[in-house]
Structure formats: structure tokens, C-alpha cells
Structure 1
């Protein structure tokens, strides 16, 4: 004998969340008259870009349960469940995460539903749900990386340690290498090159030229004096031999004359 007729629905029928947020929907067996002891059903997010299925839980403490999920679809099979005996019975809860703006149907497919006595319900109909996601998902990985980099940078400032991102770059580049090369090469060439070389060279050149110009003028003056002196001395010397010769002639003439007498 059958367990009666029932319907299976997704509740709430319509849900709205913001990208990056999560929500849950229940799968409910309505009009149960002997509880729910087993289920075999599937829930699918028709537009996988809108949301992902991130978790599934089965009610009634089943003795066996099998769920398979690939982000946009999940199949739930369970037996040995112990639920409320009459009325609407929640048999499973599915968690959804909003990915990007849009609206997607949550399609429900039911293969079988049985009561706690092991008899199958006659499922007369199913009602799918709908999920609307507003806005765009926040770039979580980027924010995490930035936070880690900032943390590393702070640690670096405090203890000089090179951590991640900012840390490594800031501590390695800013603290140690940058200061050393800049301080050493810059002052040396600027100070030594211009000061000594250009100031001494022109002074030496001008002094040498001035001295050379005066030398020929001095040389001309003594040359004239030497010439005059030489001429005077030559004239004086030429007179001396003549006087000597004349004296000798007179002396010889006197001697000859004396001998004759």
C-alpha cells in the first residue's frame, strides 16, 4: 500500500543576496503522513555564473547518505531518516554563494521519496526556486594579498625583517642597498674634479709667457755695450805696440851711434 501523495518544493521560493554573500534554501516534502525515511533528489543552479553550491546537509540523522556536488549542482540520496511524522518536513538544506550579478532558477528534480515505513510517496509535483544576486563579487584574493603585504611591510619597518610583498621589497631595497651606493659615489667625483685642476693651469701659463717676453729686451741692451767696449779696447791696444816699436828703434839707433863714437 502506498504512502500517499505529496509535493516537494524549494523554500524560500525566491531569494536575493549580494555578490560575495551566502544564503541557504530548504528542500521540503509537503503533506507527509508517515514522516520521510528516504530521499533521492537533485538541485541545480541553472546559471552557474550567478552562484555556487558550497554545502549540503541532510535532516533526520540518516543511516546512509550520499551527496555529490560540482558547484552548480548537487544530488542527495539518503535512507534511514527519522523526521516529523506529519505535515511539511524539511529533508535537506543547501548553501549557496553569490558569484556575480544576475538571476538563476534553482531547478529541483525528484527521483523518489519514501516514508519511514519504507513505502514510496507519490510525488505529484515539484516547485523550483529562484536566486537573485546583486552587484559583483568582491576581489577577495586581491584584498588578502594586499593585507599580507601591508603586514609584512610593518614588520619590516619595526625590525628590519624582509617579509612578504612590501616587506621583502621594502626591507631589501629601501633599507640596505639604496643608502650604500648613493652615499659613496656621489660626493667623491664632484669634490675632487673641478677645484684643483682648472685654477692652477692658467696661472702657470701666463707667468711663463710674461717672463719670456722681457728676456729679449734685456739681452739687446748688453749686446750694444759689449760692442762699444770691444772697439775701445782694440783701439787702445793698437797704440801700445806702436809706442814700443818706436822706443826700440830709438834705443837701437842710440846704441849704434855710441859704438861708432
Structure 2
């Protein structure tokens, strides 16, 4: 880490509210004690009205920023299957989800603070101009002041900035990276990094130096302001706590972007 200039604060985010009906996924309440931003599922890939209401209320009570985690209309596939949308349909699906979450944020005494695509939409919009444009069009139509959380160097990041939106670079604590900066596909055995000490080292390096070591050993630029902590993997809460403790030990400030 560098000591000759102020360290930029880092945000910790996690996907929350991803249960549906009687099913719960992850420990939302425990993660809300660790993260500074909550990506709340808006009912298309996961989540439902009661879950959205509960998580928004809990996040607001703990001072955690709430973002709209928008995804494909694909509950059965958990939003992890690519869908080829018409531009207007995808724009409107994203716009609908932001508005739905806003209702529960307002009921909790807050508002939606940012937007983050989920799963296959996140990965597709990172490389597909048309889907990136649809996501950006939805945010512009709703509130051009809303930041868009996405991968630095992606098509979505560039499209958002070109449209005048604030694009916030995001890194992934426990996901493998390819040499071009994209994430290792989940179908590969090295898609996830499981060793807690390795994860903490990677996160600290991303936060302090804006770089990450890819799966092939090369060092990749990764300028981020937010780190995603997965909430649906085994030991997720313990790993999230370890990451936060590692950042504190490295004297890196933690706060919502």
C-alpha cells in the first residue's frame, strides 16, 4: 500500500433479498452488519414484495445504502441464463424493477441509491452494446443521478459514462479473473476463490492498488470503488467478515460510494 497520499474509501456490497416465498437464500441480516451497500433483488430473478420490504427496512435501519439489483425475468434460472431481449422490453423490465424497489425504500424511509445488474444481465451488458444501452436507458429514464455499479473496462461502464451517468467500478472478492479483466465463467473449476486468506489479500490489493491477479497469473488493472461479497456461497458471512477485517487492518476506509 502507498502511504504518500490519502487512501480512497472502498464500499462493500452484497446481493441480498434473493429468497422467494418460503425459501431463504443467504443470511441477509448477518451480511447487513458487514456491508455498506445492499444489492436488493427486485422480483425478476429472485425476491418478492415481502422480501424486498423486509430487506429495505433492515438495511435502512442499519444505515446500509440500498441499490436495485435488476435482472432478467427468469426466476427458474435465477437470472443466470442469457436472454436475447428487444431493446425496449429490456429497458422497461429494468425500469419496472427500479420503481418496484423504490416503493419499498420509501416505505422504509429511504430511496434507491444505485443500480446494479445481476447475473447473466451483468455479464451480457458487460460485452453487448445493445443490452448495455437498454440498461443505461432505463436508469436515464428513472433518475440520471443514480450511479450504475458495474465492471471497470466493460461495455456497460463505457456506455454509462458516455451517457453522463456515474459508473462505479466493482471488483469481486471471491471470483476468478481472466487476463482481459472479465470474470472466469462459472462453468470452470477456477471460477471461485475459496481460500479466505487469498480472498482477503486479493481484496486488499484491489482496494489499495487497483489491480488483481488473473487465473493465469498475470496482473490485471482493476480500478474499483466497490467490492462484491457473495452471500449465497458456503461460509459467505465468515468470509465477508474476514474481508472487512482485512481492509480495516490495512487502514483502508470502508464506506458506501
Query: TM-score higher than 0.5 here?
Result: no
TM-score normalized by structure 1? Answer: 0.20
Which fold has the larger relative contact order, with Cα–Cα distance below 8 Å and residues 6 or more apart in sequence? 2
Q: TM-score, normalised by structure 2?
A: 0.20
Larger radius of gyration: 1
| Higher strand proportion | 1
